[in-house]
Amino acid sequence: MPTLNVAQIEQTLDVTCDTVIRNEQYFSDLDGLAGDGDFGTSLATGFKVIKAELPGMDKSAVGAMLLKLSMLCSKHVGGSSGPIWGTGFMKAAFVSKGLEEVTYDQLTQMVGAAVEGIMARGGAVRGDKTLLDALIPIHEKMQEMDGSDLGAVLAAVTAEADKAIDETRTLVAHRGRASQVGARSANTPDPGIVGVATILYDWCKHYGVDYKPQAAELAR
Ligand SMILES: [Mg+2]
């Protein structure tokens, strides 16, 4: 069974930083359709700090690196995203505390813990048109698969996030800043869901995993 070590997770985080930084304007434009237009800048501001600090982070264990990542998100990612992403990485860090590499089952538990932490932190549930509408089906898909082929898992979870863009498009947001504009959020994609899907799709491209995007925001 394949495992993931600290160096592999670090590389994946570095790819994630590049994705977030490159999409700063696009993610803010999406947020501007129904929210306050700060999502891309909030995220990119934090991930520029993370990109710079990544090489010097404590790599003694997956959990140690993710805990530092969590603190940097909480401190430097702006808006409502900072505490949400910070909580997700903190819960994943607790599961991977002291582990130099994680098994697929542990990785699945890390995602599950992140989902529970984000739900508790933000008070959102499935269907509220937040990034949880991508993360919950991703966790379920991971539980269904055996993890013997990580490329197949990556393609499958990217498909879940991709589907979530269109499945939630016509919903009205109930949580986060977009909820304050009520009906104006209907028929616009949730930037958090697009963000998760874009990060996963870029992981596919980086690791040579074939994936054909469906939602317009991913296929652009
Ligand atoms: Mg916003």
Q: Which residue has the higher pLDDT, 211 or 187?
A: 211
- Using CA atoms, how far apart are residues 69 and 63, in angstroms rounded to an integer? 10
* Count of the separate structural domains present in the chain: 1
Which one-letter DSSP state was computed for residue 101? E
Say how many Å lie between the CA of residue 179 and the centre of ligand 1.
10
- Please tell me the distance between residue 94's alpha carbon and the centre of ligand 1 in angstroms: 28
For residue 95, how far is its CA from the centre of ligand 1 (angstroms)? 30
Residue 177 CA to ligand 1 centre (angstroms): 6
pLDDT of residue 129: 94
| pLDDT given for residue 177 in this prediction | 61
| Residue 62 pLDDT > 80 | yes
At residue 181 the predicted structure's pLDDT band, cuts being 50, 70 and 90, is low
Give the pLDDT confidence of 77-117 residue by residue, as tens digits.
Answer: 999 999 999 999 999 999 999 999 999 999 999 999 999 99
Single out the residue of 34, 28, 24, 50 nearest to residue 173, CA to CA.
34
Q: Tell me, in angstroms, the distance from the centre of ligand 1 to residue 44's CA.
A: 13
What per-residue confidence (pLDDT) applies to 182? 66
Given a cut of 80, is residue 179 above it in pLDDT? no
Asked if 165 contacts 200 with a C-beta cutoff of 8 angstroms, the reply is: no
pLDDT band at 187 (very low <50, low <70, confident <90, very high): confident
Spatial CB neighbours of 135, under 8 Å, sequence gap ≥ 6: 88, 111, 114, 115, 118, 196
**Does the pLDDT at position 180 exceed 70?**
no
- pLDDT value at 9 more than 70: yes
Residue type at 213 in one-letter notation: P
Measured over the CA atoms of residue 183, residue 189, residue 121 and residue 18, the dihedral's sign is negative
Mean pLDDT calculated for residue range 38-58? 98
Distance of CA 43 from the midpoint of ligand 1 (Å): 10
The mean pLDDT value of the chain amounts to: 95
Ligand 1 center to 191 CA (angstroms) = 9
The DSSP code for 173 is: P
Specify the pTM: 0.96
**pLDDT given at position 35:** 87
Q: Domain range for residue 158?
A: 4-219
Query: Letter for the amino acid at 188?
Result: T
pLDDT tens digit string along 115-126?
Answer: 999 999 999 999
Q: How far is the CA of 84 from the centre of ligand 1 (A)?
A: 13
What is d(CA 207, CA 155) in angstroms, rounded to the nearest whole number?
Answer: 11
Identify the three-state secondary structure at position 38.
Answer: coil
Q: Kindly give the distance from the C-alpha atom of residue 29 to the centroid of ligand 1, in angstroms, as a whole number.
A: 10
Partners of 101 in the β-ladder: 5
CA of 118 to the centre of ligand 1 (A): 17
Query: 3-class DSSP state for residue 30?
Result: helix
Where on the phi/psi map is residue 88: left (φ > 0), alpha (ψ -120 to 50), or beta? alpha
Query: CATH number of the domain that 99 lies in?
Result: 1.25.40.340
> 3-class SS at 159?
helix
The C-alpha atoms of residue 135 and residue 161 are separated, in whole angstroms, by 7
pLDDT of residue 186: 79
Distance 8 CA to ligand 1 centre (A): 31
Query: Measured in angstroms, how far is the CA atom of residue 39 from the centroid of ligand 1?
Result: 5
